[in-house]
């Protein structure tokens, strides 16, 4: 976790962020430095875009594969969350990164298997606290069964939820819980 001021100054950070900085950038993270000093050159444009979206009040979550150490890349879930003062003004951003490499590698294996078997749909979804659902993985078989491409389902999960029979939907929700 790194707390960042609107001018990109590092306000505070936890020990995990400090360790990541040492391993990836070979230098200490210090309060007052620019967060851009700890952003990979290939990621700066996207970092700034997502940072600015968070400064406008939006919570941004992205999954990306980044170099971690020499010749090693890991998948991360990165979140940019606005920080508000008591008057509801945005005073900075909470930047968090979670290692999701193991999950992503398993998803790649499942995807390969699922897409090798015709007329089979394998999927994974997330549901937020508002009850909104989004698919995090869906195999190509979704087109054979439902007539929608995986990209269409990623954009609008409701097309699949509306097509499921109530018994099937209840079974899916039981498995997820």
Q: What is the mean pLDDT of the chain?
A: 82
Q: What is the pLDDT of residues 119-137, one digit of tens each?
A: 555 566 677 777 777 777 7
pLDDT of residue 93: 97
Q: Provide DSSP, 5-38.
A: -TTSBEEEE-HHHHHHHHHHHSS---TTSBGGGG
Q: Is the pLDDT reported for residue 99 higher than 80? A: yes
Query: What Cα–Cα distance (Å) separates residue 86 from each residue in 43, 77, 142, 146?
Result: 32, 28, 47, 48
pLDDT in tens, 48-57: 999 999 999 9
- Among 93-97, 115-119, 126-130, 150-154, the range scoring the smallest mean pLDDT is 115-119
Higher pLDDT, 32 or 123: 32
Question: Residue 90: left if φ>0, alpha if ψ -120 to 50, beta else—which one?
Answer: beta
Q: Is 164 left (phi over 0), alpha (psi -120 to 50) or beta?
A: beta
Render pLDDT for 108-119 as a digit per residue (tens, 0 to 9): 877 776 666 655
Residue 105: C-alpha distances to residues 4, 61, 87, 101 (Å): 31, 19, 43, 6
The reported pLDDT for the residue numbered 122 is 59
What is the mean predicted confidence (pLDDT) over 138-150? 71
With a threshold of 0.85, does the pTM exceed it? no
Inter-residue contact 142 to 120 (CB < 8 Å): no
């Amino acid at each position: 976790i790194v707390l960042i001021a609107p001018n990109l100054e590092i306000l505070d950070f936890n020990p995990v962020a400090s360790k990541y900085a040492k391993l990836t950038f070979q230098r200490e993270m210090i309060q007052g430095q620019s967060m851009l000093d700890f952003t990979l050159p290939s990621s700066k444009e996207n970092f700034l875009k997502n940072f600015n979206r968070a400064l406008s009040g939006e919570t941004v979550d992205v999954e990306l594969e980044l170099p971690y150490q020499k010749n090693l890349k890991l998948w991360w879930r990165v979140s940019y969350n606005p920080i508000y003062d008591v008057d509801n003004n945005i005073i900075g951003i909470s930047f968090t990164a979670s290692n999701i490499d193991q999950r992503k590698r398993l998803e790649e294996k499942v995807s390969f298997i699922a897409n090798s078997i015709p007329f089979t749909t394998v999927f994974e979804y997330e549901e937020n606290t508002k009850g909104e659902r989004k698919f995090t993985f869906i195999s190509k078989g979704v087109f054979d069964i439902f007539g929608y491409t995986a990209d269409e389902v990623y954009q609008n999960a409701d097309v699949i939820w509306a097509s499921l029979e109530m018994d099937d939907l209840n079974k899916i929700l039981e498995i997820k819980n």
